[in-house]
Chain A
Amino acid sequence: MSDALVQILEGNTFVVSDDKGDIAASSTDPTGLFSFDTRFLSRWVLTVNGQRLTALSTDDLQYFQARFFLVPGSGTVYVDSKLSIIRLREVADGFHEELRVLNHENDPVDLEIRLEAASDFADLFEVKDALKKKGQYRNEVTGGSLVLRYERDTYARETWISASEPATVDATGLTFHATVPGHGEWATDLDVVASQGMPDGIGEAPVGIRGRRRQVRQDMARGLQKWLQRAPTVDCDWEPLEHIYQRCMTDLAALRFSTLTMPDHALPAAGLPWFMTIFGRDSIFTSLQALPFTSELAETTLRALAERQGTRIDDFRDEDPGRMLHEMRYGEMTAFEERPHSPYYGNADATMLWVVLLDEYERWTGDSKLVHDMEQAARAALAWIDEYADRQGNGYVSYQRRNAKTGLENQCWKDSWDSISYRNGDLPGFPRATCELQGYAYDAKMRAARLARHIWKDAAFADQLEKEAADLKRRFNRDFWIKDGEYFAVALDADGRQVDSLTSNIGHLLWSGIVDSSKAKAVVRHLMSPQMFSGWGVRTLAEGEARYNPIGYHVGTVWPFDNSFIAWGLRRYGFKAEAAAIVAGILEAAEVFDGRLPEAFGGYARSSTRYPVQYPTACSPQAWSTGAPLLLLRAGLGLEPNGDNLIVDPALPKRIGNLELLDLPGRWKRIDAFGRGRIDTDRIVRR
């Protein structure tokens, strides 16, 4: 099979195929038609007269549409075909495929065209971990459709396959006997519908195969067009920026995800295709990044997370009252509680970040109705910080999973096993109080105080929150500060001891505002030092620490998302030129990656590799990498809502030249922002 994988999607339904449009998955091979975290097709192979086909070219027309140009034969020798085959595939509740066979000869030709179909109905988790299925399969031909069915007790899932042209349907596929006239064509429509089956057996065909399908597709195309038209416009002397911006907005459109309870609203899913679901942290960070350009994502994220906010103690799901969810899944293992994702709550940051987003959303949009609607959720979130998140009992937010079997060990954004370490490489015990969590808690309280005072009209609550925040800030600057190194420890361990490695987490502290202004300069000096700043961006872990590895997931790579928040933090403390250096580095990396930033790239010094080295990941685009250039534009232009005005205070890298951001939406309706690059960022960075 060819390595070239093609993926198209809509919401949480997506197809991953080879460059011929075929799916021939093994149990652990991540190809297929997936919907609601379940594989509904693991085999979909086209043959003509028993022969597999060869791809001439493949086009990703839109994120939900792909076209495959094919000819018969193995393709290892010169192709001089008398036939060509075009498959046009579009995703919606499964997929729709238009199959056309063109005869280039003068004489008609008789063909046997076959599509072989099968499904293993694997849960995404099973594809990842190669687990065995526990239920039974049943294939049936019903009213001209092939139905693939899987059932386990009352759980049932079905794939319905039908064609517009007459076909011989058997349990493993559809066969067409076609006569294609000379210089003519033969065509059929194929529909594959993913369906939640009834417990008592195969019933009626699911609604909406043809007819409604066309409507859905038109809506999708129009929806994308409208989304792009509504977005602000970027004009820039540095041409790559316009391309980067277009790429971001299109990818953000593809990452839009609707929940079952709010089908007409979209929030950003975490990544395409394996993380097309709500992730508390990822959806919030991406919504924050995108706020100057669109507030729709933030609004839906706030509502969707509040709807599923924790209300009880559930150790399996690491749920507490007030806690915001980490990840939601719909597959078989979640259904049978073999995985806790219904939803899973094991994160220590999303609850506080949700409050931060609520305030930031109001500052941009002036939508006080949403803030009123969310008052109870916000109060519950704030109560969680004090009542449930202080697991060390010392007034700091810390985490330790209660679900030791399938829960998450590290519940901060750096969630890999070795991400939090002492300088000597040892790993701390649990609970762990990582530093950025204290920053988020501080920011959440300060921002909630503003909402309490001005919108909920509860001055006493506002006073109390501000007092708690001030106390937290005072203690934090005492307990986390490493005096001889002049930076903040990445965490306090279970004994209250400092976990002393130097990490990018200190940049998030600037964003949250928890850093004493007397300490900010030293923090910035570290961030821009050769140990931390690679020339492209700030490394997750400083060079020189025992676990440093320039291609280690959270221990040396550069994360664009991380850097975008660090740049925002640098602006918050007035370090404009340093922020511009990060804006320059990450946007120039984006140029190398043709506009689409990966989740992370290697921490090698820019001077030694010339090009950023991509970290291999399964997901692209990743939501918060997609959002990074948007937040960097905000940081570079110094955009800050202030009442009904938008402050523009540009500090841009020289190379950018003139930058115009037109039609920024917000409480001011629409506004334009201009800036001119004046900062020689090469001089900022010590190399």
Chain B
Amino acid sequence: MRALRFWLVGLASLLLLATLAVGVGAVPLGAGDVWRALLGAGDETTVAIVRALRLPRVALAALVGAGLGMSGAALQGTLRNALAEPYLLGVSGGAAVGAVLAVAAGVASEAGVPLAAFAGAGAAVAVVIAVARAAGGRADPRVLLMSGVIVGAFANAAIMILLADAAPNTVRGALWWMMGSVSGADWARVGWLALHLLLGGAGLLAWAREIDVLALGEEPAASLGLDVERSARRVYFLASLLAAATVAAAGLVGFVGLVVPHLARGGGLRGHRAILLGAALAGAALVVAADLVARVARAPAELPLGAVTALVGVPFFLVLLRRGERA
């Protein structure tokens, strides 16, 4: 019953927020105008504004949230760590380095940047886990997190150095992107992100039962016949793919992957298949809402999306930390 309520409230919030987000802007539109335009009716200008300008942005925000939510849910379950998420673990930072390197090398295609970001994310995961293991094991969630934050700081430094001799307008663009933004949305970018989400998400959903078993801990999981190292690597791979795709599309948007798996579990969802889907839904709604706030809070100026999600995420993180990371 509680699970059903989670799905209904989640879907309703997402639809409501998306309609609102498409309606808000320099030319304000009512809910009726928005839906008519989506169906192709109404005057031409409205249809153009909705379909070519606002809808891609809302769709991109929703997909970024869905990807980060699934990535966070998979990492939390596999690492047995309620504070795990791609941003805090340095995975997003690694992806950002990869993407910046690709752009600096002259690769600017919608297909190439996510690939480079994925390579960076994969390298970051490997380093974070190796550092945590060397520093006393993945068993302590704080050691893992510290290792992630360190790798993230290193990634930031690397990006600054890469940008040192870039043209001033490039630097400004890059900084904006490092704070996260879906303002560069177009349908091509939405399409590429959707494709990556479909691949990574389908993989995680297919192996969701293994995440359930991994969440019991290494020895119990091994006693149930699971190849623990191999399964965990597979999850890291797919979670990195999702995180990297969101970074390539919208830059660094932190804390979404931290918050929404807790909403899904707290909403009564059981088993990682449901938790992954629930985190995707909640993540989509959260990022659409955050982008809406980013656009209207200081209109006509825009706030960085990553700053808005951090304002929500940091207090949430502190509450979890105080609760003893169990939650």
Whether both chains belong to one complex is answered with no
